[in-house]
Amino acid sequence: MTWTLEIHHLDIGMVGDATIIVARHPGNPPAQAAIRRTVLIDGGKIGSAPTVNTYLANTLNIATVDVIAVTHFDEDHFYGISQLLKNNTLRYNSAILYDTGRLDGHEDTRYAEDAYGVRHAVDSEYFEYRTTAANKPGPFVYATQHVNSFDIVDYNGAGQAVIPRGVVNARPSRRDPAARNWREPHWLLGKDIMWGNGLVEPNWAVSAVPAYAPGRPSLICVTANKYVLQPGGGMTFCSNQPVHAENDDENPKSLGFLLTFGNFKYFVAGDLERAQEDGHVNHEMLPVLQNGVKFRLNPTDDLAGRVLVVKSSHHGSNSATSREFITRLRPAAAIISTGPRNRHHHPAESTINVLDGYPEAPILGDPTNAGRHPPEPPPPPLRPVEHFLTGYREPNVVPPLSYGGTVSQTAGDPAGGLPGHIVVRVTEAQSNLSPVGQMRRGVIAAGNATNAVTGYAPAPGLVDQVGEAGGARGVVQAAARATGATDQQASQALTAVMWLGNVENNGNPVNGLVTRANNAATAPGATPASIDGVINAYPVAIRTSIGVQGMAIIRATMVTAAGAGYRTGIANAATGAGATADEALAASVAAEVAYATNNGRDDAAYAGIAAYAAAHAGATPAQAAVLGAAMGALVQVLDAAETARIVVDAARHAALNAPPVVRLTTQHAAFVAAVTAAAHYLGEPDDVRDGVRAALVRVGVAGGAATGAGNAARGVANAVNPATLFTVSYDSVNGPMNVDIK
């Protein structure tokens, strides 16, 4: 008998947050009792309380909530919890309550004295919340009642934060004549709030897990009051606020939790901000980065340590979920809590850009489109993350108040009253599977099968590095790593092509420079002068970014006659414009193999520009030619076999004129082609097979051996169904949905 885990993200019908985590073990009654542990994290606004209570009672049939966590004291997170506690139903009377601790203000009065003795009004709902929680009889426990969230850090004489902050001995006041030793603001760090481990207060309801139920999920606090747990067990203090305001803003003080169940990991952290997620150089400190929570969530910074599901902090706003954060965590899915009447425009377009696989800011910028990427942007250079929104669609509001993105799914229909509760489910069997995903498995299978035939021995860890190459269009980055080129050189190749197709018509590449030049070249009566006229009419900023060498390559791909002299004509044009011999060689080879695939001059131009840019960034001719060919395969939407063939051709043709020291051997070329094709198609088993077989045949391996290697690679790539790591479902209409784990 085994554990199961459920994470319910509630659509509360408005802006706000409420998450329910349920861990279950069936036991074997009567000898072995069934186990269930329920954690409620936040409760939305006051009007959300009935929705939360009804969901617990009717949908989940839960009579007793074991743990309540309030991530921070914003209205849309804790007001609902306050109402649930004040209703005094049996469902919440046995819970252990955790929050960030006491704010500025005494828990027993509606007014508070600050450090200067000035009295301030306290949020009346906060007063009711603390009063209710503090006065509830046992077995209810208010675990963080005396945690200091009002004076969270001290500074030494050099203006450096003292980490960790010690116990605060609060001075007496008129309202509280007894001084009190308050617990440290980081007191909750490292504690497993699902089970109460490490909490030794007398009379606390700490739940012991019976020996017949090993492997339970855990819910560890990893950030609290701007303190962040580190992989080695220490902590940092991450803040981007001035000293006088350290205690004021609740969002960066949010509690953050890492839910771990075998190899499955999930992160939730209220309205936490990027200073705590990514790390920050604290105000008035020496310029030393304080590592953020991303270092604790994926200490090894690889696919094996990935966090498979992320609750996007602060409802997907632009204050969190940065490009660096998602790149480090490598999630397969993100959950965004949002709703109708969303005056904050959550989720932010910068967050959606990140989840769609782009930088936060659009490529080239798009001032006419409120910071979004264009409707038909260039291929994403990084791994896209499927994201689920509890609700944002408001069909009667134009433009919409928030944005979903290209790989999003909106649960329910807030405008139509259909709820969008999102549930993530994980079985114990799923939790024991490797989280690395289909792409890495497919790339490893392709590389190993190819090398078994050719005898090529890649550098240690190289196949893993290729398997990390990000995104549904990560082919160029994969090709770079396989050849030994750098990610920066791959980025230059991608960026150069993006400049060409991301300007007009909201960035639709079909109206870009290359296509316009190609249309001019294929028009009746075309002449070099007419093609030059189209090219020279393109915006100066874009022509400048490509450079005179790049512009010469585009011209040459359009005007050079097909045949044996095609590559020579492009190389001569490039060197005539000032390109080096290596840059010209890389560009001409990549353009030639792209053109030969389908006689597309536009595709040849894209490939040539990408290769030139990579060579200009320092890649060898063979490396740059492969990057350009990979870009050509991407632009042409070639299948796996064609991708493999074009990459082999680029590698081998570049070797004809390159010095031996920078050539790719035949065995290396086959490896590069096979793993690039596998990465291009995200490690899908059939594509892995086709890429391996085509690469080997292209370098001269007999058809039978190539087919056998392809079939072997497919078998390895297909060994584990990638969609079995967890399931996502929402509302009563849709059953469980598999999320492709790339």
pLDDT of 505-518, one tens digit each? 333 333 467 777 77
> What's the confidence (pLDDT) of residue 142?
92
Q: Which range has the top average pLDDT, 141-145, 379-383, 668-672?
A: 141-145
Q: Is residue 128 part of a domain?
A: no
What integer pLDDT is reported at residue 410 of this predicted model? 75
Most confident of 304-308, 650-654, 657-661: 304-308
Confidence of residue 459 (pLDDT cuts 50, 70, 90): confident
The DSSP output letter for 221 is: E
Check pLDDT > 80 for residue 158: no
More confident residue, 712 or 470: 712
Domain membership flag for residue 39 = no
Stretch 338-354: mean pLDDT: 77
Q: Is the pLDDT of residue 470 over 80?
A: no
35 SS3 class: strand
Q: Rounded mean pLDDT of the chain?
A: 81
- Please determine, for residue 119, whether its predicted confidence score (pLDDT) is greater than 60: no
Note the pLDDT of residue 89: 80
Q: Which of 291-295, 419-423, 525-529, 556-560 has the highest mean pLDDT?
A: 291-295
Least confident of 298-312, 446-460, 709-723: 709-723
**Contact, 531 vs 555, CB < 8 A?**
yes
Q: What is the mean pLDDT of residues 161-170?
A: 82
Max mean pLDDT among 35-49, 142-156, 671-685 falls in 35-49
Domain that holds residue 485: 438-723
On the question of pLDDT at 44 being above 90, the answer is yes
List b or e across 169-187, with b for residues whose CB sees 16 or more CB atoms inside 10 angstroms: ebeeeeeeeeeeebbbbbb
Residue 736 has pLDDT above 70, yes or no: no
Q: What is the pLDDT of residue 615?
A: 92
Mean pLDDT along residues 32-50: 93
Q: Using the predicted structure, report yes or no on whether residue 573 has a pLDDT greater than 50.
A: yes
pLDDT at 661: 47
Q: 272 with 252: CB under 8 angstroms?
A: yes
With DSSP H G I counted as helix, E B as strand and the rest as coil, what are the percentages for the chain, rounded to 5? 40, 15, 45
Assess if residue 44 is contained within a domain: no
Residue 670 CA to residue 25 CA, distance in Å, equals 49
User: Mean per-residue pLDDT for 220-237?
Assistant: 95
Q: Tokens for 409, please give them.
A: 């799914």
| Among the listed residues 124, 136, 127, the one whose alpha carbon sits nearest the alpha carbon of residue 97 | 136
Can you give the pLDDT at residue 507?
38
Specify the pLDDT at position 208. 67
Range picked from 67-71, 198-202, 426-430 for highest mean pLDDT = 67-71
Do the domain assignments include residue 508?
A: yes
Q: How confident is the model at residue 285 (pLDDT cuts 50, 70, 90)?
A: low
Most confident of 304-313, 554-563, 732-741: 304-313
Label residue 409 by pLDDT band (50, 70, 90): confident
**Res. 651 pLDDT band, cuts 50 70 90:** confident
Q: What is the pLDDT of residue 310?
A: 97
Q: In the prediction, which pLDDT does 336 show? A: 92
Question: According to the per-residue pLDDT averaged within each range, which of 14-28, 167-181, 408-422, 449-463 is highest?
Answer: 14-28
Does residue 297 sit within a domain?
A: no
Q: Which residue has the higher pLDDT, 7 or 548?
A: 7
465 belongs to a structural domain? yes
Cα–Cα distance for residue pair 30/16, rounded to 1 Å: 41
Question: Which pLDDT band, with edges at 50, 70 and 90, does 279 fall under?
Answer: very high
Most confident of 75-89, 331-345, 559-573: 75-89
Average pLDDT of span 626-654: 84
Q: Contact, 104 vs 134, CB < 8 A?
A: no
Q: What angle do CA 56, 60, 64 make, to 5 degrees?
A: 55
Asked if the model's pLDDT at residue 392 lies above 50, the reply is yes
Which has the higher per-residue pLDDT, 325 or 567?
A: 325
Q: Output the pLDDT for position 499.
A: 56
Number of domains in the chain: 1
Which two three-digit tokens encode residue 338? 């949002």
Choose from 54-58, 128-132, 516-520 the range with maximum mean pLDDT.
54-58
Confidence band (pLDDT; 50, 70, 90) for 560?
confident
Residue 660 to residues 118, 579, 622, 664, 708, Cα–Cα distance (Å): 78, 21, 10, 8, 32
Quote the pLDDT of residue 478: 82
In this prediction, what percent of the chain has a pLDDT beyond 90?
31
Where is pLDDT greater, at 517 or 184? 184
Higher pLDDT, 477 or 226: 226
Instruction: Quickly state the pLDDT bin for 374 (edges 50, 70, 90).
Output: low
pTM of the model: 0.82
Exposed e or buried b per residue across 683-698, where buried means at least 16 C-beta atoms within 10 angstroms of its C-beta: bbbebbbbbbbbbbbb
Residue 565 pLDDT level (bands cut at 50, 70, 90): confident
Give me the percent of the chain exceeding a pLDDT of 70: 79
Confidence at residue 118, expressed as pLDDT on a 0 to 100 scale: 58
Taking residues 589-606, report their average pLDDT. 84
Is the predicted pLDDT of residue 231 greater than 90, yes or no? Answer: yes
| Strand 111-113 to 119-121 pairing | antiparallel
* Span 446-465, average pLDDT: 84
pLDDT tier at 78, thresholds 50, 70, 90: very high
Listed residue (596, 594, 662, 659) closest to 628, CA to CA: 594
CA distances for 286 relative to 69, 158, 161, 282, 477, angstroms: 34, 9, 10, 8, 36
Rg (CA), the chain: 29
The tokens describing 241, both together, are 């606020």
CA within 13 Å, CB half, 80: 29
Residue 572 lies in a domain: yes
pLDDT over 60 (residue 240) = yes
Using DSSP bridges, classify how beta strands 96-98 and 161-162 pair: parallel, antiparallel or unpaired: unpaired
